[in-house]
Amino acid sequence: MKGDIRKKTASCRHSGGSLFFLEAEMFGRRKEKKASPTDVAPKLGPSDLIEEMPEEVEGIVLKNTSGDILIAVSTDMSLSGEYKLGWFIATDRELLVVDPSNGGYKISKIEVAEIKEVKLHSFYGNNLLKVYTENRGIELARFSKTLSNKFRSVSEAIKALVEESHKGKVEFKPTVESPEGRCPKCGAPIPRWLGTCPNCLEKRKLIFRLLGYAKPYWHIVAISLVLMLIATRLELMQPLLTRSLIDDILTPEDIPPDQKISMLIKLGLELVGILAGASILGALRGYMMAWVGGKVSLNLRNQIYEHLQKLGMSFFSQRDTGSIMSRITFDAGRLQDFIVRALPDMIQSMVTLAFICQILFTLNWKLAVLTLIPTPMMAFLTIYFGEKMHKVWHSISKSWSSLNSVLTDTIPGIKVVKAFVQENREITRFSNHSSNLFKRGMRGAKLQSLFGPLMGFSTFLGSIIIWFIGGRWVIGDVLTLGTFTAFTGYMWRFYGPVRMLCFLNQRFQRAAASADRIFEILDTPPEIKPAAPTISIPELEGRIRFDHVTFIYDGGDKPALDDISFEVEPGEMIGLVGHSGAGKTTLVSLICRFYEPTKGAIYIDEHNIL
């Protein structure tokens, strides 16, 4: 929508005031325009433009392509303009379009060597990626405005592919350019509402920021830590008592049996008292941390919900309801689990390791050094699998959000589904999302099933070394049987916390992914700034004036309203006429202040609503 509305109206009299109709030509479709060089995204490596394909699509691609897959991206529209999921694939030799059509897919291919030009066409409501050969133009992908950034990257990647193909060599080379709106480190698009690259966020900083929510309850946390230290130390007394049992009671032959029995009873009572005390302190500590975790989760959920009320409509228009709900419920619950269980387990494991190391080196420093042999291998496995698991848990979180989105769309709108007899379609859609969640979950299970046995094998190697060398020392009277028994007991207790810390890395990665998703909402600044000073108007007359108002939707590449000026008198009625996407709803939304104008001002009774 562009121009002065007053200059493009024809009026007719109507009871209650004048009725104005906008000329339809004012809303005529704009000519498609070629994306300007300043809009072009930097070249990206192939890994940045490969998305996970459904099994059906993957099978189609494997049957119809040859060469290495360099690009595999989804579109949210068919080439005919329907909102359906399609795919675009590029190899080093050809381009493949998988377009949804009549319940299946229509496949079209073009050789990279035939392409002469790549263009992005921009329309109202959607964009089109198209390539041209000597004698024809071929549509590759139609997509909504929300995917503009992704397909600018795809366009540049195809241009690079064509250029290298004409040279006889296909190779992607990431550029060092950093256009506005892109991360200077990885080149990925930066969401305007976030301000930082989600791919380059430091996970440890996210966790430390999360722990800041526990600061008001530091005294409870401190008491819990003291109880944990005492309980841990008490639990570690058992192997030392076992050594005393063997070396001081069972092995010596010069002690009378009656004295041995009394010593045994005394030792047993000590053990019962120690274990009972450790259990009571552990229960108190667990309850305290559960209370702290619950309070942190409560405050997080309330803060997220309160912040959501302050955000503009553009934030909600870019996200599914299910995704937002998933962050308030699923992600907040996962963070609560991290604070209540994972974090205390991590601290307790570290404290236990410190105590055990001190005891092991006191018992026999040579065997203690041998105990540490498997540790580097366990650390390597933790780092290696940790990087892979973070990506998997992040994808699982997204799958849960997608599944929730289907539910929040379908269940409230069940009347519409039944009215149009779309039950089978919705069942298929839900089944596809559930299957996708299952596949990603099994990918995580596969990594976990490899990680666990490898960690177990590492600790088993360490125990074999201790048994062999320690056993020889016992046979040669270099080491007492009681000391060796106590040492092996501490050895297994040593490997337990090490394995716990390694497995906690997975929970750390899951918590970091959830914290990332939650803080993305909390870091989104409200678009609508409260006017200062706020004024109270007893009664509105109803005069509305637009003064050179321009508005561009977030992520849009051209104005939805362009330099609009008009005035409506009290009692006057205006009819807005134009095709879909001309800006009628946008204009009303600006009056309601659902969005802020990019330029210009809006007045109600000569009061600037901004």
- Identify the pLDDT of residue 531: 55
- Identify the pLDDT of residue 3: 52
Amino acid, single-letter form, for residue 539: E
pTM here is: 0.53
pLDDT one-digit tens code per residue, 170-183: 444 433 334 445 55
Residue 417 in this model has a pLDDT that exceeds 70: yes
Q: In this structure, how many other beta carbons lie within 10 angstroms of the beta carbon of residue 407?
A: 14
Least confident span in 42-51, 399-408, 475-484, 494-503: 42-51
Residue 16 in this model has a pLDDT that exceeds 50: no
CATH 3.30.70.1150 corresponds to the domain 42-167: no
Where residue 38 falls among pLDDT bands split at 50, 70, 90? very low
Q: Which of the pair, 582 or 259, is modelled with greater confidence?
A: 259
- Identify the pLDDT of residue 25: 30
For residue 588, count CB atoms less than 10 angstroms from its CB and return exposed for 0-12, middle for 13-18, buried for 19 or more.
exposed
H/E run at residue 587: helix 584-591
- Identify the pLDDT of residue 276: 92
**Length of the chain, please?**
610
What is the torsion angle, in degrees rounded to the nearest 10, for the CA atoms of residue 106, residue 112, residue 117 and residue 123? 30
Where residue 284 falls among pLDDT bands split at 50, 70, 90? very high
- Identify the pLDDT of residue 363: 85
- Identify the pLDDT of residue 281: 92
Residue 17 in this model has a pLDDT that exceeds 50: no
Token digits for 255?
A: 């002690």
pLDDT one-digit tens code per residue, 97-114: 998 877 778 888 888 888
- Identify the pLDDT of residue 174: 38
- Identify the pLDDT of residue 4: 46
**What is the DSSP pairing of strand 544-551 with strand 599-604?**
antiparallel
- Identify the pLDDT of residue 475: 86
Q: 200-522: what CATH class?
A: mainly alpha
What is the torsion angle, in degrees rounded to the nearest 10, for the CA atoms of residue 75, residue 76, residue 81 and residue 86? 50
Where residue 31 falls among pLDDT bands split at 50, 70, 90? very low
**Mean pLDDT, the chain, integer:** 77
- Identify the pLDDT of residue 170: 47
Mean pLDDT value across residues 64-92: 84
Amino acid, single-letter form, for residue 28: G
State the fold for domain 2-29+529-608.
Rossmann fold (3.40.50)
Alpha helices in 20-147 (DSSP H): 55-64
Mean pLDDT value across residues 281-304: 88
- Identify the pLDDT of residue 46: 40
Name the segment(s) of the chain with CATH classification 3.40.50.300: 2-29+529-608
Q: In this structure, how many other beta carbons lie within 10 angstroms of the beta carbon of residue 442?
A: 12
CA angle, 409 then 519 then 297, to 5° = 85
pLDDT one-digit tens code per residue, 162-215: 888 777 654 444 333 344 455 555 555 554 444 445 556 566 777 788 888 888
Percentage with pLDDT > 90 across the chain: 3
Name the segment(s) of the chain with CATH classification 2.30.29.30: 42-167
Residue 461 in this model has a pLDDT that exceeds 70: yes
Q: Which of the pair, 4 or 40, is modelled with greater confidence?
A: 4
Name the segment(s) of the chain with CATH classification 1.20.1560.10: 200-522
Where residue 223 falls among pLDDT bands split at 50, 70, 90? very high
Rounded to whole angstroms, the Cα distance separating 283 from 291 reads: 12
User: Which of 27-36, 278-287, 486-495, 537-546 is the most confident on average?
Assistant: 278-287
Instruction: Of 156, 157, 153, 161, give the one whose Cα is nearest residue 94.
Output: 161
Residue 366 in this model has a pLDDT that exceeds 80: yes
